Amino acid sequence: MEIIVNGIPYSSPTLTSPTINGTIATTGLTLPAVTLGGALTLNGQVFDAGSGSAQINTTGANAGLIMTSTQDGATGVLLRAIAVSTSPAVSDLLFQEQVMGKNDNAETITYGTVRFLINSPTDGAEDSKYDIYLYNAGAQNQAMTLSGAGVLAVDLGGSGAAAQVDLFDEYDDAIVIKQGIQQNNRELLADIGVFDRKDTGSGYMMKIQPMVRLLAGGIYQSRQRLDDLIDILVSEFPQVTERLIERKLIGG
């Protein structure tokens, strides 16, 4: 539809490199793609993404979201997640972060999730927990949990390999471990599964599940040795008693 103003055909004006100063009052203004030529200053205003998500795209390597603070003193950069609810309940999810990609269908493959959940929503007695979910053998696995009280729990199965179940249950295992500790032989401890070599740099990580099995194996070995000794003493005691009586070392 053509608009005529004072007999002159009117069309939408096109502004090329305009300079605009002051405050612009608009109602329901929708902008197409916008390229910023300078810093966007919000001055404490809220960036409202509505019911969607605010997304930052980049084609750079190791590029993403960077936050900088010029505040002096003991304070620094703050990343705060606020979950607003009038009826918080136990096990409500407060915050989560996910790691996804790298493949042809990157937005459908999740490799890891970190979750903060409520244990107690009572004001003045707030309590929470921190869960880490990682993919293991193609399935999501709750690998680690940290409670508000500071109790750290890890997946009991560890790698899930059956060989780890009976790890350190042989008598000679204790001798091997002793040699590794006395000689500070971290390579030996890494070979038997107590330590894990770091992927980058130098050094080792202690693997909790194998260490627990090591301790348990030592307990079982000690108990088994005591049980075996008791069995030997019980079985041999009558013969020992008879010999002592024969030699008149004790009264019969």
pLDDT single digits (tens) 78-136: 889 999 999 999 999 999 999 888 877 766 788 899 999 999 999 999 999 999 998 88
Q: What is the pLDDT of residue 250?
A: 64
Same-domain check for residues 138 and 177: no
The answer to the question of residue 125 being in a domain is yes
The answer to the question of residue 213 being in a domain is yes
**Residue type at 119 in one-letter notation:** N
pLDDT level of residue 222 (50, 70, 90 thresholds): low
Q: What is the pLDDT of residue 236?
A: 75
Once rounded to an integer, what is the mean pLDDT over residues 198-202? 75
Same-domain check for residues 180 and 137: no
Distance CA 160, CA 71 (A): 47
Q: What is the pLDDT of residue 163?
A: 41
Q: What is the CA radius of gyration of the chain?
A: 34
Same-domain check for residues 191 and 216: yes
Same-domain check for residues 160 and 250: yes
Same-domain check for residues 210 and 122: no
- Residue 161 burial (CB < 10 Å; 0-12/13-18/19+)? exposed
The answer to the question of residue 168 being in a domain is yes
> Could you list the residue range(s) of the whole structural domain that residue 251 is in?
156-252
115: closest CA among 99, 101, 126? 99
Q: What is the pLDDT of residue 116?
A: 94
Looking at 155, 170, 200, the residue that finishes a domain is: 155
Q: What is the mean pLDDT of the chain?
A: 79
Residue 129 three-state SS:
strand
Torsion-angle region of residue 196: left (phi > 0), alpha (psi -120 to 50) or beta?
beta
Into how many domains does the chain fold? 2
Same-domain check for residues 144 and 191: no
**Of all residues in the chain, what percent are helix, strand and coil, respectively (each to 5)?**
25, 20, 55
Once rounded to an integer, what is the mean pLDDT over residues 162-173? 53
The answer to the question of residue 72 being in a domain is no
Q: What is the pLDDT of residue 241?
A: 73
pLDDT reading at 171 higher than 70: no
